[in-house]
Amino acid sequence: MKKRIFTSLKCLLISYLCISLVFPLLLLFLRIPMNEVGLLLSQGRFLPMLWDSLLTTLISTVISVSLSFLLALGLNRCNIPGKTVYCVLFTLPMLIPSISHGMGLVLLLGDNGILTNILGINIGLYGYKGIILGSVLYSFPVAFLLFQDGFQYEDYHLYEAAQVLGISPWHSFRGITLPAMKRSIVASFLAVFTMVFTDYGVPLMTGGTVMTLPVYMYREVIGMMNHKGGALVGGILLFPAFVAFLFDLRSSRGSTVSNVAKPYQISCRPVRDRLVMILFLLFCLTLLLPVGAFLCLSFLRQYPLDLHFTLSHVKKVFSSGIGLYLINSLAVASMTAFVGMCLSYFAAFITTRSKQSLSNKVLHLISLLSMAVPGVVLGLCYVLSFRSFRIYSTIFILAMVNIAHFFSSPYLLAYNSLRKFNPNLEDVGQSLGIGPMQLLFSVYIPSTAKTLIEMYSYYFVNAMITISAVSFLINFKTNTLSLMIPQLESQSFPEGTAIISLLILLINLGVKALAYLVGKYGKSAQ
């Protein structure tokens, strides 16, 4: 009976993932008008859009990955105080939508930006510069976290041997550090490339006359209701992301778990440490500049003409119906976080703690598939698949698309945690008459509570900031906070966009702080 319940739940989970992810993708490919492919490719604007997308993505990816590697290297190779604080500040850009980064750059460096007026220098933000700057700010925290995790698994014995052999620090870096970080470098490059190539928030704000493929798709579907043309561009956007996913999947098979015999010992070099700390402080100040710009516009009467403090902009935003959007965002984020956490954890439980059957391998592949699907593509898939269903005009479909969009990363968190348990635990439980579901609730969930908290906060934060998939599915009653930013910007109300960005940041900071306190309290209680 217990085994039958477990099998039924597994079948339901696979069916749900097929309905929410696999079938919409298949329908997208079926809806691509093949007779219009040649027409689109022959248009004079397509190749420039493709070139602009690839050029800005490649430049942004190289800068973002290089910057993230240097930040993680400095944090793990230098004796500087407050490393935890720097880690939090370096990941702060993850807590606001990508469109807010673009808006922040406009407020700072636009033609009438704060820094433009103070310094008297106009850098010509709109175009390639704006897209690249915004994309780097938006994407580098993801690469930083990957590098930060990679540096935790370095074995200092190799460096000691190099010192004994008289190998210089530079050659040790080339021969030991870079090969050890190869997996993290590849993973961060692929992750950042996919994020930037499929994002339309930053190019929408700072692109000017430069049009990228995601912006074109957004305007075709939202502005012109051209679903066929959007499906065609969506298929093009899906291709490089899917290739990156396959490459990452193949390279991960050959990766091995590193056992750290001795953690890295940081040498004492005061001059180096002070220099790195100064650079870190300057970089953190740069990261906080957009937040400062949001504060200026939110609470100054009319920047730069009238610098008196006021709450009129806040009152205007809250009197425009923001309460409904706030409730929608919190409801969607909470629903996404709870249901997504349960589904992804149970999927990881099945694939790690039961026999490697064909159905389990299929479930594992489907669970990783969302990494290859850009949000703008998934949103269009849902438009084509569910617009004739009742769920289409509700917040439930917003939670559903968010779960499908962000499924892979929380799944991998749970997958890696559950793999650490003794592989014979199920056999022992079976001999004692303990079924898999009882093991799940009595052993695995209590032992991996911290992972569950991380999964919940990951879903919640990303559901609060996402603008890609949900932008195709909202209506007036189900609109969210993040999507108010382009709406208020189009109404020439930058103060409102700044207030919304700050509100989202405060909510996400609160959730992250609460998750940290719950995890810390739970650990001390044990």
Q: What pLDDT is attached to residue 442?
A: 84
For residues 159 and 16, membership in a common domain is answered with no
| CA neighbor of 432 nearest in space, from 447, 416, 443, 446 | 443
| CA neighbor of 363 nearest in space, from 16, 72, 56, 97 | 16
Q: What pLDDT is attached to residue 1?
A: 53
Does the residue 169 lie in any domain?
Answer: yes
Q: Give percent of the chain above pLDDT 90.
A: 25
Tokens 């391998």 found at:
361
Does the residue 253 lie in any domain?
Answer: no
**Mean pLDDT, rounded, for 2-27:** 86
CB atoms within 10 A of CB 148: 20
Q: What pLDDT is attached to residue 257?
A: 45
Q: What pLDDT is attached to residue 255?
A: 47
* Structure-derived torsion over alpha carbons of residues 508, 509, 510, 511, reported in degrees to the nearest 10: 50
* Domain limit, last residue, from 254, 289, 310: 310
Does the residue 237 lie in any domain?
Answer: no
For residues 283 and 392, membership in a common domain is answered with no
Which whole-number Å values give the CA distances from 163 to 168, 172, 173, in the listed order? 7, 9, 12
Q: What pLDDT is attached to residue 57?
A: 93
For residues 384 and 460, membership in a common domain is answered with yes
**Mean pLDDT, rounded, for 447-463:** 91
Does the residue 38 lie in any domain?
Answer: no
Q: Are the CB atoms for 50 and 206 separated by under 8 Å?
A: no
| CA neighbor of 11 nearest in space, from 341, 442, 362 | 362
Q: Give percent of the chain above pLDDT 70.
A: 90
Q: What pLDDT is attached to residue 72?
A: 92
**Average pLDDT of the chain, as a whole number:** 84
Query: Which pLDDT tens digit goes with each residue over 234-280?
Result: 777 777 767 776 776 666 554 444 455 566 677 788 888 899 999 99
Does the residue 191 lie in any domain?
Answer: yes
For residues 110 and 11, membership in a common domain is answered with no
Query: Which pLDDT tens digit goes with each residue over 131-140?
Result: 999 999 989 9
**Does 220 or 290 have the greater pLDDT score?**
290
For residues 90 and 168, membership in a common domain is answered with yes
Does the residue 95 lie in any domain?
Answer: yes
Which whole-number Å values give the CA distances from 469 to 15, 214, 369, 405, 478, in the listed order? 21, 12, 16, 8, 14
For residues 61 and 140, membership in a common domain is answered with yes
For residues 374 and 355, membership in a common domain is answered with yes
Query: Which pLDDT tens digit goes with each residue over 143-176?
Result: 998 888 778 777 677 777 777 777 877 888 888 8
Query: Which pLDDT tens digit goes with each residue over 308-348?
Result: 888 888 888 888 778 889 999 999 999 999 999 999 999 99
For residues 117 and 157, membership in a common domain is answered with yes
Residues 6+ apart with CB under 8 A from 395: 328, 331, 332, 335, 478
Does the residue 37 lie in any domain?
Answer: no
For residues 91 and 197, membership in a common domain is answered with yes
What DSSP assignment string belongs to 99-140?
HHHHHHHHHHHSTT-HHHHHH------TTHHHHHHHHHHHHH
**Full domain range(s) for residue 302:** 47-216+267-310
Give the number of domains in the chain. 2
Does the residue 127 lie in any domain?
Answer: yes
Q: What is the CATH number of the domain that holds 505?
A: 1.10.3720.10
Q: What pLDDT is attached to residue 361?
A: 85
Which whole-number Å values give the CA distances from 129 to 125, 210, 212, 299, in the listed order? 6, 10, 14, 29
* Domain limit, last residue, from 248, 275, 310: 310
Q: Are the CB atoms for 383 and 221 separated by under 8 Å?
A: yes
**Does 55 or 198 have the greater pLDDT score?**
55
HSE-CB at 266 with a 13 A cutoff on CA atoms is 15
Q: What pLDDT is attached to residue 343?
A: 95
Query: Which pLDDT tens digit goes with each residue over 43-78?
Result: 667 788 888 999 999 999 999 999 999 999 999 888
* 304: confidence class by pLDDT, cuts 50, 70, 90: low
Q: Are the CB atoms for 22 and 356 separated by under 8 Å?
A: no
Residue 229: pLDDT above 80? no
**Mean pLDDT, rounded, for 428-444:** 79
For residues 384 and 515, membership in a common domain is answered with yes
For residues 303 and 286, membership in a common domain is answered with yes
Q: What pLDDT is attached to residue 251?
A: 61
